[in-house]
Amino acid sequence: MPRQIFLGALVQSVLVVAASLAAGLLSDRTGRRKVFVMVASLVYGLALFVLAATAAVHGFLVGMALGGLGFGMYLAVDLALVTQVLPDADTVAKDLGVINVAGALPFTIAPAIAPTILGVGGGRYSVLFTVAGLCAVAAAFAVLPLKRVR
């Protein structure tokens, strides 16, 4: 089991780096941000659905690879998008501080609500991964209302 976890983390890490480089370059060349953030969230949601649906090592590795792809794309483009929609050039530092707290919030809330989801789901992690996947897919559409960026 530890070998599979290491392999999954390795696959995911390699794809995070590769996807962030590729998505960052493509986003800069095209001047588009929203589509990359949306696709990244959808790919990450798909990764979570794969993890929810599989019990095999190969499925785990596919899920981790997709997760690395989606997260890498997101890391490369999200901050660029955020800086383009800040409301006031005089309050950039404050606004980025708020964004940082908002970005960390899911990592503090998820461990608090995970036991409830697991309890409702009969202790099955597939339910937890499915709920997380649904959240990622919903997040993909959160950028649609942004009008000042492409």
Domain total in the chain: 1
Closest CA to 76 of 104, 101, 40: 40
C-beta of residue 33 within 8 angstroms of C-beta of residue 84 = yes
48/63 Cα distance (integer angstroms): 7
Q: Coil, strand or helix: which one is 150?
A: coil
pLDDT of residue 74: 94
Tens digits of residue pLDDT in 66-98: 999 999 999 999 988 888 888 888 888 888 888
Provide the pLDDT for residue 106.
Answer: 86
pTM (2 d.p.): 0.89
Give the span between the Cα atoms of 11 and 59, in whole angstroms: 13
User: Cα–Cα distance between 96 and 65 in angstroms, integer?
Assistant: 30
Tokens of residue 142, six digits? 């959160």
Q: Quick check: is 74 in a domain?
A: yes
pLDDT, mean of residues 129-133: 96
Residue 24 lies in a domain: yes
Yes or no: say if 78 and 140 are a contact pair by the CB < 8 Å rule: no
Q: What is the pLDDT of residue 2?
A: 85
From the centroid of its chain, how far is CA 99? 15
Q: For residue 20, is it within any domain?
A: yes
DSSP designation for 128: H
Q: Cα(71)–Cα(83) distance, rounded to whole angstroms? A: 19
**Domain CATH code at residue 69:** 1.20.1250.20
pLDDT at 22: 96
Asked if residue 149 is part of any domain, the answer here is no
* pLDDT the model gives residue 147: 77
Residue 91: predicted pLDDT:
87
pLDDT of residue 79: 85
- Residue 99 within any structural domain of the chain: yes
pLDDT tens sequence across 98-112 = 888 888 888 899 999
pLDDT tens digits, residue range 13-68? 999 999 999 999 999 999 999 999 999 999 999 999 999 999 999 999 999 999 99
Going by C-alpha positions, the residue among 143, 13, 145 that lies closest to residue 78 is: 143
Task: For residue 150, tell me if it sits in a domain.
Answer: no
Is 148 contained in some domain?
A: no
Residue 96 lies in a domain: yes
Residue owning tokens 């780096």? 17
- pLDDT category at 12 given cuts 50, 70, 90 is very high
Residue 30 belongs to domain spanning:
2-143
